[in-house]
Amino acid sequence: MSHPSAMRIFLKTIVARAYPRFVAAYRNRAWLITETLLPLVGTIAMIYVYRALHAPARFLGFVVLGGVLLAFWQNVIWAMATQFFWDRGAGNLELFAMAPTSLAAILLGMALGGAYVSLTRAATILLVASVLFGVSYSLSGLLPALGVFVLTISALYCLGMLLASLFLFYQREAWQLADAMQEPIYFLSGFYFPVRSLGAVVGGVGSLIPLTLGLDAIRQLILPGTPQFIPLSVEVLAVVAQIIAYAALSQISLRYLERQARQDARLILRST
C-alpha cells in the first residue's frame, strides 16, 4: 500500500481543518448573531459619536471600514490566537499532536476557514452600516483597495498563527489576555479615526499590527480626503513585509513552542 506524500497530507489537513469553519459559518446561529452584531453595535455607537460632533460624512466611512476589519480582528483573537487553548480544553490538541500531520497545516486551515467566516460577517457589517448611515465610497479606488484588503488579511492571519503558538503557554489567563487585546488594539490601529491622528510614535507602534497600515491604505483609496499617515506605496510594501515576517516567525515559534509544550506536558494540560 502506497503512502500519501507529505505535501498531500499537508494540503488535506488544511482542507480538513478549514471545513468545520466553512460549515459552522451558517450552521451555528448563536455565533452568526454575535460575530455580526458585536462589531456592528460597536460601529453604530462610534458613528453616533461622530454624528453628535457634527463630523464630516467621510468620518462615518472611517468608522464603517474600521468595523469591517474589527470583525477580522475578533476572529483572529477568539478563533486563531486562543484556538489551541480551546482545543486543549476540549481534548483535541493531543489528537492534533498525535496525528501524522503538522500543527502548521492545522493553523493554516484554521486561518483559511476563519478568514471566510469573518468575510461573511464583515460584508454584512459593511452593507448594513453603509446603507443605514448613507456612507458612500470612491469606486475608482475599489479594485486596488480590494488588493490591499487581501494583503492585509493575509498578514493579519499570519500574525494570528504566531499568536496561536504563543497562547499554547497560557492557562486561565488566555481568556483575559485575549480580552485585553480589544480596545487597546482598536486604539493603536486607528479603527475609528485616521491613523495619522495618533502621531508618529504611537502610529509607528500600532503599525506592527497589519490592520493599522492596511486600514489606512484602504481608507486612502476609497475615502478621498483621508489624512495620509505614510505614502500608500510604503504602506503596501510594509504589509507585504509583514506577511513574510509573521509567516516565518509563526513557523519558528510554533516549532519551538510545540517542542517546549511536549516537554512540559502542556499539550494535555487542562486549565479549568
Partner 1 sequence: MSTAIRQWRGFKAATRLGWQISSNWTQPLVFVLYSVLRPLSAAFILVVMYRVISGGGANTAAYLAFLVSGVAFWSFVQYGFAGLSNGIAEDRGEYKMLKYVYTSPAHFYVYLLGRGLAQLASAVASALIVLIVATIALGLPINPLHINYPLLLAASSLALLAVIGLAMAFGVLLLQARDAHGYGELGSGVLYVISGAIFPISVLPGILATIASLSPLVYWMESIRRSLLGSQAIRMFPSLSDGDVLLRLLVTTAATLILAHLVFSWADRTARQKGLIDMETNW
186 lies in the site for partner 1, by CB under 8 A = yes
Residue of 26, 123, 143, 184 interacting with partner 1 (CB under 8 A): 184
259 lies in the site for partner 1, by CB under 8 A = no
Binding mask 212-251 for partner 1 (x = CB under 8 A): ----------------------------------------
Binding mask 23-62 for partner 1 (x = CB under 8 A): -----x-xx-xxx-xx--xx-xxx-xxxxxxxx---x---
The answer to whether 69 and 214 are in contact (CB under 8 A) is yes
Helices vs strands, H then E, count in the chain:
12, 0
125-144 residues near partner 1, rule: CB under 8 A: none
Rounded-to-integer distance, Cα 96 and Cα 167, Å: 16
98 lies in the site for partner 1, by CB under 8 A = no
Rounded-to-integer distance, Cα 174 and Cα 180, Å: 10
Rounded-to-integer distance, Cα 224 and Cα 58, Å: 8
Residue of 22, 116, 169, 193 interacting with partner 1 (CB under 8 A): 193
Q: What is the CA radius of gyration of the chain?
A: 19
169 lies in the site for partner 1, by CB under 8 A = no
User: Would you give the DSSP letter of residue 226?
Assistant: P
User: Could you tell me the three cell numbers for 21?
Assistant: 469553519
Rounded-to-integer distance, Cα 78 and Cα 156, Å: 13
Residues that bind partner 1 (CB under 8 A): 28, 30-31, 33-35, 37-38, 41-42, 44-46, 48-55, 59, 89-90, 171-173, 176, 179-180, 182-184, 186-187, 191-194, 197-198, 272
